Amino acid sequence: MPREINDVLDEVLQNAPGVIGAILIDVDGIPICISGRFELPAEELGALLAACFTSYAQVGADLGQELSTVMTEYKNLKLYQVGMPRGGLIIIADKNAYLGMIRLEAKRAIRELTDLMSVSEKSREELMTRHKFRAPSEDEVKDLISKFL
């Protein structure tokens, strides 16, 4: 039986102590799959994460560098975001989680997720319809980002 995207994300949560959530987004920030718990609605979180990653990628491009990973530490959380060919994998963990395990699990998951995403366009459309997701407008993304500045 072929594996599903949610199986891969669930394994990240199980295999890396301290991980509380993982989300797979497409290049537009639309959530493809979610595992764990998040305080923001997935649609808003996905849009914010895509916008942040794009901003950091532009900084890298201006410096002649290609962005692959963003690691952010907050007071009580760590956020690890990895770019992929058609989106990104975001892992959110407790502040005491071991970064090495998170990186190891992300690397393992990305290999499998990249293959699974190559056939997931139909899944994305179904997920968007089922959960009433839509791609946010540029103004909505700017509005969301302004709340955090």
Domain boundaries, the chain: 5-132
Residues 6+ apart with CB under 8 A from 4: 116
pLDDT digits (tens, 9 = 90+) for 99-115: 999 999 999 999 898 88
Structure tokens at 112: 């499998």
Give the pLDDT confidence score for residue 29 in this predicted structure.
86
Q: How far apart are CA 122 and CA 109, in angstroms?
A: 21
8 Å CB contact between 50 and 135 = no
Which option is the CATH number for 5-132: 3.30.465.10, 3.90.1010.20, 3.30.450.30, 3.30.200.20?
Answer: 3.30.450.30
Give the pLDDT confidence score for residue 74 in this predicted structure.
93
Give the pLDDT confidence score for residue 116 in this predicted structure.
82
Structure tokens at 70: 């963003």
Q: Which residue has the higher pLDDT, 120 or 39?
A: 39
Q: What is the mean pLDDT of residues 126-130?
A: 71
Q: How far is CA 49 from CA 22, 71, 110, 115, in A?
A: 12, 12, 17, 22
Give the pLDDT confidence score for residue 4 in this predicted structure.
86
Q: What is the mean pLDDT of residues 83-97?
A: 91
Is the per-residue pLDDT at 121 higher than 80?
A: no
**Which one, of 63, 70, 72, 68, lies nearest residue 85 by Cα?**
68
Give the pLDDT confidence score for residue 122 in this predicted structure.
63
8 Å CB contact between 20 and 93 = yes
Give the pLDDT confidence score for residue 41 in this predicted structure.
83
Residue 61 bridge partners (DSSP): none
